[in-house]
Amino acid sequence: MDKGTATNMFESLSSGIRLDIVRLLVRYGHEGLVAGELAETLELPRTNLSFHLKTLTQAGLLSVTQEGRYQRYRANLDAMRDLVAYLTENCCAAEADGCVLPVARNCAG
């Protein structure tokens, strides 16, 4: 992952609303949610939600597919993993210094 991609993703995750969107979509996995469901769940005006969804999608953190007149959004788990890897590699590469990261578990919850 290049630096620009990483900073775009970090910027996307720097908004509480967008972090909520991502966490919600991650919980829904491959099923995802359509825009209207997201707006209802998060109690956001549609235009505002649309703005944040666009930001997240452009950053690569979400994917979107059209289903008739609905837009279904899904979290991009590959991107998440890449971002975690980037953070691990670039921000924890010092001389041993007690730098032991937590081992990732499987995601059964």
Partner DNA sequence: ACAATATTTCAATCCTAATTGAATATTCGA
Partner DNA sequence: TCGAATATTCAATTAGGATTGAAATATTGT
- Given its own copies, DNA, none, residue 41, with its beta carbon under 5 to 8 Å by kind, binds none
Binding site for its own copies (CB under 8 A): 3-4, 6-8, 10-11, 13-16, 19, 22-23, 26-30, 75, 77, 80-81, 83-85, 87-88, 90-109
In whole angstroms, how close is the CB of 83 to its own copies at the nearest point?
7
Give whichever of 69 and 91 is closer to its own copies, judged by the CB atom: 91
Question: Which residue in 9, 21, 22, 49 binds DNA (CB under 7 A)?
Answer: 49
Cα separation, 25 vs 23, in Å, equals 6
| 55 touches 97 (CB < 8 A) | no
76 binds DNA (CB under 7 A): no
106 binds DNA (CB under 7 A): no
Cα separation, 27 vs 72, in Å, equals 14
* Binding residues for DNA (CB under 7 A): 11, 14-15, 17-18, 34-37, 39, 44-55, 64, 66, 68-71
